[in-house]
């Protein structure tokens, strides 16, 4: 039986990252990213993913919990703008999900570069 608090991830599957709040998948053919978060689904390209992650990071840095108990997250679609309201805990959970997926994307890129011989890794003694 799976522990709901366990984090699952893989650089070899379309499933990039999971938390108990959602999943992030990458399409094997087109590279678009699908975010499933608490029953909501969003399909975006990699640039939009990075923009969303950066926006969430900025919002979380500026949050004053006394000012508001929810924030509106909006995205343009072919059918018009779609928006949802998220509380502080939900914003944090979404950020953690996306940050984990971004870390997996970065690791996959580094592994690919090393495997192709395009980049030599520094030995651990050179790490800060």
Domains and CATH numbers, the chain: 8-116 (2.30.31)
Length reported for the chain: 128
**Prediction pTM value:** 0.75
Distance from chain centroid for Cα 82: 19
Token output for 83: 């928006």
pLDDT at position 6, please?
Answer: 45
- DSSP E strands: which ranges in 3-114? 8-9, 15-19, 22-26, 33-37, 40-44, 71-77, 80-86
Per-residue pLDDT of the chain (128 residues; tens, 9 = 90+): 344 444 444 444 688 899 999 999 988 788 889 999 988 888 888 999 999 999 899 888 887 654 667 788 887 777 788 888 888 899 999 999 999 999 998 888 777 777 776 666 665 565 55
């Amino acid at each position: 039986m799976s522990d709901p608090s366990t984090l699952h991830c893989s650089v070899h599957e379309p499933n990039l990252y999971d938390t108990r709040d959602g999943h992030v998948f990458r399409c094997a053919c087109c590279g678009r990213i699908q975010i499933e978060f608490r029953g909501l689904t969003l399909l975006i390209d990699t640039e939009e993913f990075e923009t969303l992650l950066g926006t969430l990071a900025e919002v979380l840095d500026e949050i004053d919990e006394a000012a508001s108990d929810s924030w509106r997250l909006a995205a343009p679609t072919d059918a018009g703008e779609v928006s949802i309201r998220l509380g502080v805990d939900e914003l944090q959970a979404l950020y953690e999900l996306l940050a984990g997926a971004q870390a997996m994307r970065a690791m996959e890129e580094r592994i690919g570069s090393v495997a192709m011989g395009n980049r030599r890794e520094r030995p651990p003694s050179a790490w800060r």
